[in-house]
Amino acid sequence: MQIKAEPAATERATLLILKELAIKVGHLKIAPTEIRDNANLFDDCGLDSASVVDMVFGVEDAFGITIPEEEIDAELFQNVSKLAEFVDAKRAGARGE
């Protein structure tokens, strides 16, 4: 299952896609609606340092962005909403907004 974002995805859609990716990467058996918007991807979704790599690749693929290695840190994955803001900012930058 490949998850792709539409170019005009809203913040809500970004959150949903990130939650779906977390479920896929974390091998969770829950619905995206069961993940709070401010959920910690490590504590609440079971991601670890190895699965963060899969999450980064999934985010890059789903949203058509590149996340430079120097921008990847644990703090970025502490909150689904903050990750969504980061992704939306990257997408806006890629479109030249």
Average pLDDT, the chain: 86
The torsion region of residue 96 among left (phi > 0), alpha (psi -120 to 50) and beta comes to: left
At residue 9, the pLDDT reads 52
What letter would DSSP give residue 14? H
* pLDDT reading at 95 higher than 80: no
| Global pTM value | 0.83
